[in-house]
Amino acid sequence: MPESSTQVEQLQVGEPGPGVPKKDPILIVDSVTRTFGGMTAVDVAHVEIPRGKITALIGPNGAGKTTFFNLLTGFDKPDTGTWSLDGDSLSGVPAYKVARRGMVRTFQLTKALSLLTVMENMRLGATRQGGERFLPALITGLWRKRETEITDQALELLARFKLDTKKDDYAASLSGGQRKLLEMARALMSKPRLVMLDEPMAGVNPALTQSLLGHVLNLKNDGTTVLFVEHDMHMVQTIADWVIVMAEGKIVAEGYPATVMADPAVIDAYLGAHHDTDLGSLTGQLEVAEDIGSPLTGDIIEEIAEETPDAK
């Protein structure tokens, strides 16, 4: 469970809110915008990610969360803006160099290379592979030691993610949840400082969900900073130390999980995703309450049960 703001020193400087400075930020983003035609998908004035913590990026569908991830990790180019990791500018840096500098990401739809084995996928995630360059590849002694180190590291990570028995299987043979585990394990091959997870629990069966949650918490325990996108507000409240809320491309709220869930700006953002919902009905209220992880959810369920005593 994340520590609450009353249990630890505050992460921010000043009152929580959009763009609030952090005491020890690892990632700082300024004036990042991205438009598609006449639509503004991302318009983030300023945001900072606290070091060594788990930060959740939440918001309704279409809020710009994945586009924001794509911009920061070099998979898309912004119209304007700058950002830096530990003071090292990543603006305009291609994706592979962003990963080498310590910021890696996973995808909502996994990107495992299906026709390669699990071990081969893992090896691809490692850095400093001398055998990839023509001249060093001709001299076995220049890359053999590093190849052994990479293999040992991959085996250690596969064992940690309980995929070691699958190391010689093709990635195509893995289940959806196992592919999520593989992608997270492969991301760690570069020993990143910041891991960005795009909906890590999407499409994962309940048996593997708890395993993935444990791995995310272990990243924090190992000193790695985590920034993740997630729609399951119960999961956000369970593991996040800090929450950032996006709506219509902008940061509309920031703070500790319990505080953010009660923020009027957050409720407004999610209500906008339910413009067709009958908020006068208890079931409509329940739908919205569940989306934002409201503590009122249990009360609404009780009211529905009282109104429909024969409902199963």
Each residue's pLDDT tens digit, 50-105: 999 999 999 988 899 999 999 999 999 999 999 999 999 999 999 989 998 999 99
52: tokens are 């060594």
User: Which regions of the chain are under pLDDT 70?
Assistant: 1-9, 112, 128-144, 146, 271-312
Q: Active-site residue numbers?
A: 199
Class of domain 1-112+192-273: alpha beta
- pTM for this predicted structure: 0.78
16: tokens are 């929580």
- pLDDT, residue 309, reads 53
- pLDDT, residue 90, reads 96
Phi, psi of 287, deg, nearest 5: -60, -45
- pLDDT, residue 208, reads 77
Domain boundaries, the chain: 1-112+192-273, 116-173, 276-312
Sheet order of strands, 242-247 included: 103-105, 194-198, 225-229, 54-58, 242-247, 250-255
Each residue's pLDDT tens digit, 32-55: 999 998 899 999 999 999 999 999
